[in-house]
């Protein structure tokens, strides 16, 4: 059996690995039933579905009708920009609030793009801030700083 589509094969393996990890991890929590779900019920079944999806993608990459494709080289600079932006967001959130942290996240992660434009990045940041504020502050009522502490006192 020959791997015809290597990106799909790798994606299938990744889905299976993440799905199995979360399904196994979720077994440590109370499962409950479909009518009365415990804390592990949803993550367990989400992991199972992710494994099944991964298996489907993996098997499809082996099919003779699949388009032959190789794996491209990783763009490590872009990987580091995006990963760094998420870590920076996590560190800055408590100090400068969600609005400015999202602004930093979007601008730093946009540096990973080979087609970076200030105006588009600013528009993306504003849209993401509005969505995050509406979802997490208004609807879910999560308690984290929206603005830096020195602006709210």
Which carries the bigger pLDDT value, residue 74 or residue 47?
47
pLDDT at 63: 86
Quote the CA–CA distance of 141 and 152 in Å, as a whole number: 18
**44 and 14 inside one domain:** yes
What's the number of domains the chain is made of?
A: 2
Tell me the C-alpha distance between 141 and 133, whole Å: 10
Q: Is residue 110 one of the residues assigned to a domain?
A: yes
Q: Where among 14, 36, 62 does a domain terminate?
A: 62
Q: What is the mean pLDDT of the segment spanning 31-56?
A: 92
Contact 130, 139 (CB under 8 A): no
C-alpha to C-alpha distance for 56 and 8, rounded to whole angstroms: 10
Q: What is the chain's mean pLDDT, rounded?
A: 92
Q: Who has greater pLDDT, 3 or 57?
A: 57
Residue 1 lies in a domain: no
pLDDT at position 36, please? 86
Domain that holds residue 80: 76-152
């Amino acid at each position: 059996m020959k791997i015809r589509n290597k990106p799909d094969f790798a994606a299938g393996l990744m889905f299976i690995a993440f799905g199995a990890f979360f399904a196994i991890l979720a077994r440590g929590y109370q499962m409950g039933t479909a009518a009365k779900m415990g804390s592990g019920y949803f993550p367990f079944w989400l992991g199972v579905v992710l494994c099944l999806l991964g298996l489907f993608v993996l098997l499809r990459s082996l099919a003779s009708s699949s388009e032959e494709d190789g794996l491209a080289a990783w763009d490590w600079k872009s990987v580091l920009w995006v990963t760094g932006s998420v870590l920076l967001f996590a560190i800055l959130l408590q100090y400068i609030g969600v609005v400015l942290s999202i602004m930093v996240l979007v601008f730093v992660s946009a540096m990973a793009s080979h087609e970076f434009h200030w105006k588009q990045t600013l528009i993306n940041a504003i849209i993401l801030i509005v969505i995050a504020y509406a979802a997490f502050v208004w609807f879910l009522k999560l308690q984290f700083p929206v603005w830096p502490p020195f602006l709210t006192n």
